[in-house]
Structure 1
């Protein structure tokens, strides 16, 4: 009697839970995916706690020690010091927050805008689809970095303006992806059944269609994190991103280029940080893609 009276999981929940379990199992089978997950976790950890764990917090706050200018890497300063005598390791650790949080904000905002545009276009069809997709195509014709640079230059330097500028150039890829997925999902049996039961278009779209196109969107988000961080660093490098004294990887690289190649360590540390972040998120994205869509493996 106890077993018969126990609540059963909803029929739709079991296949979804089983798919997630199988995807997690496939993800664990790939060593490169686990390496990417570990690097990404480390980058996110430093983004949250890097400034607090920096060995020289006074340097992060803008402190200057001119007596320690351009010290080579040593046990006291593993990545040396810069032209102001600041510890490069501390600046790179603290700069993780601005670079990673900006990249994360860009991906989230771009995903929200692109998902809404693609979902409405794919579900509504007709002239709405045509108008939204032509707008998307028009945006795609302009290179994203050039468009971000133009918007950032118009808005002015600063963290918020940089995020807005990159986000406005980031959404078309998600719009294209979501539209294609929605066009396939809207013809499924459960969507037809929901429509027959009297569900409105907004309920069908947000309750039945979008949850079933989330997997490819999540995979694209993980792949885009690395490229968003790289774009943030690029804007900081040319001087229209985060401005000093706030540490940021692209800004640190820009300041160090005047002292290359003699004082090489001031550029190697932020350069390696950018490389590891992009590399880690790309490995993570590849692993998630293979886990959620094993047919896509080559």
Structure 2
């Protein structure tokens, strides 16, 4: 609707028209984003459906070996298997048959056992859902314990300089599930004998796996809530309620209610983390869940069972994300669903000398251990010294083949960090490229965020086979979205700068502006961001090695060392504790480094009265 003010000749656009235009633009963006997400999800589903063809291996030979290892692989036998499984029809026909079967509730027949896949998937899914429910209960208890100090002090008006549980929460959130599972198995299961260490025989069998999955998830939840609460307690309505004599209990409940809409979408990350953590934890404790089923099917090349299990894991992760968005919409209500309710960053105190010293100390310990181990031979086998306790000759003992644990730890650090650096560089370069096309990469980024490294590692291992190259590809595929989001924000900010308008006015070419102004302004911060993610990438590679999807024996890789030591953990726990301690130091270094380099931003103002 156009209006004309007295004395004006040009029509003006009313605020109603402007709001309508913004609504239309928002809807268009939402439609494009939804289409991109659908296309990316379809690509993942197609990849799952084409696994028998993408594997590049003779599926008939894998089936023959699985069914009868002694049978001779004659051409007649292989042809009969191909005809029986329909492998000669081509990839498109194979995909069409698999998709039609999924839509009808038929996931096919196992290549190994010859039984229906759907009952096996449903059985494993039921076990995993029970375990995830128990883990979520543990996560909520841990998060509540971490946030209690912030809630109590904020409600009483005594909170100063941010939350009280941020550092412990960050430490817990950074511990990999497979590492915590191994430590719990050794400490509570083997040494103390308090709880079962394997199987699925009752509620007692659920305790250790639930702790291994729930504690890191609780650390993440606690960190999110603890970071959001200080900004809420600085809003005007809190001071008004406190001055009016409202009880601290009601203020605390209202503050929690106010902080939830901004962070509930992040709760989907917890569901994704539980989905990926289930694979490792179920493997450690021999739990017959869907994660262990998927891993076993990948190693046995039982592709129909692998397809069904991975599809179930993908649906679990995506369902967690959808539920988090629905909960957020419910919390906001119909009147505020389109409102921007993002909380400001909480105030952060400058990092003290002790906080700046922690990453240096941890890096020094890792460097010293690596350097000492590099001076030794990691492949020398001495069967007479099998499982020897730590001594002067072998400071960290020996493994099941008599190899020096310190030597394998040192060489494994060099290999793990070297591969992580390569993956970090590739992710950074890719993020810089897609940072200039945010609307086209949004859907792929959302799907990549919804896929844990373990799930991607299983898919890549099924296509390329287990190994360092496959693990690197898997981690690189899910490492770029945060870097791409950072690059996209910097590109938009730089393009809006006034000096670029001046450059265009004096005739500078787009190529000159891109190479001399935009790229230098974006590449530096994104590169530093990528280096901060280097320890996390190394931990992701170690988790794939622990599951047998990464480096293969006799490579001295940290995750593989931890996996190999599980077979004799009762006799030689030091062989497992050494790589576990190294991974814990790496996780601590990542947390301390990120806390020191985090920008100290002061909380801004937000609309008052929202919680009311």
Q: Distance in 1 between matches of 2:440 and 2:386?
A: 58
Structure 1 stretch displaced more, 236-245 or 129-138: 129-138
Q: Distance in 2 between matches of 1:45 and 1:191?
A: 48
C-alpha change, 1:172 and 1:248, in structure 2 (3 Å) is same
Deviation at 1:219, TM superposition (A): 4.3
Q: Distance in 2 between matches of 1:140 and 1:28?
A: 30
Deviation at 1:260, TM superposition (A): 1.8
Structure 1 stretch displaced more, 213-222 or 247-256: 213-222
The answer to whether structure 1 residue 53 and structure 2 residue 375 are counterparts is yes
The answer to whether structure 1 residue 136 and structure 2 residue 442 are counterparts is no
Task: Determine which structure has greater relative contact order: mean sequence separation of CA pairs < 8 Å that are 6+ residues apart, divided by chain length.
Answer: 1
SS of 2:397's partner is coil
2:360 counterpart residue number = 37
C-alpha change, 1:210 and 1:30, in structure 2 (3 Å) is farther
Contact 2:399 2:575 (C-alpha < 8 Å) held by counterparts: yes
Deviation at 1:197, TM superposition (A): 2.6
Of 495, 509, 514, the residue aligned with 1:186 is: 495
Deviation readout 1:66-124 (Å, 9 max, x if unpaired): 11011111222221111111111111011111111122222111111012101x22xxx
The alignment yields a C-alpha RMSD, in angstroms, of 2.5
Contact 2:562 2:579 (C-alpha < 8 Å) held by counterparts: yes
Deviation at 1:32, TM superposition (A): 2.2
The answer to whether structure 1 residue 88 and structure 2 residue 432 are counterparts is no
C-alpha change, 1:148 and 1:45, in structure 2 (3 Å) is farther
Deviation at 1:204, TM superposition (A): 2.1
The answer to whether structure 1 residue 210 and structure 2 residue 503 are counterparts is no
1:15 counterpart residue number = none
Which of the pair has more CA radius of gyration? 2
Deviation readout 1:155-175 (Å, 9 max, x if unpaired): 122323321221122111111
C-alpha change, 1:247 and 1:296, in structure 2 (3 Å) is farther
Contact 2:467 2:551 (C-alpha < 8 Å) held by counterparts: yes
TM-score, normalized by length of structure 2?
0.39
Structure 1 stretch displaced more, 71-80 or 140-149: 140-149
The answer to whether structure 1 residue 67 and structure 2 residue 390 are counterparts is no
Deviation readout 1:19-63 (Å, 9 max, x if unpaired): xxxxxxx9995432333134336646766x566422xx1xx1x22
Contact 1:219 1:285 (C-alpha < 8 Å) held by counterparts: no
1:98 counterpart residue number = 415
Of 600, 603, 606, the residue aligned with 1:294 is: 600
2:570 counterpart residue number = 261
Contact 2:350 2:600 (C-alpha < 8 Å) held by counterparts: no
Q: Distance in 2 between matches of 1:200 and 1:44?
A: 47
Q: Distance in 2 between matches of 1:222 and 1:40?
A: 14
Unaligned runs of 5+ in 1: 1-25, 122-128
Q: Distance in 2 between matches of 1:171 and 1:242?
A: 22
Deviation at 1:245, TM superposition (A): 1.2
The answer to whether structure 1 residue 172 and structure 2 residue 481 are counterparts is yes
Deviation at 1:243, TM superposition (A): 0.9
Contact 2:409 2:558 (C-alpha < 8 Å) held by counterparts: yes
SS of 1:294's partner is coil
Across the two proteins, how many residue pairs are aligned to each other? 255
Contact 2:453 2:540 (C-alpha < 8 Å) held by counterparts: no
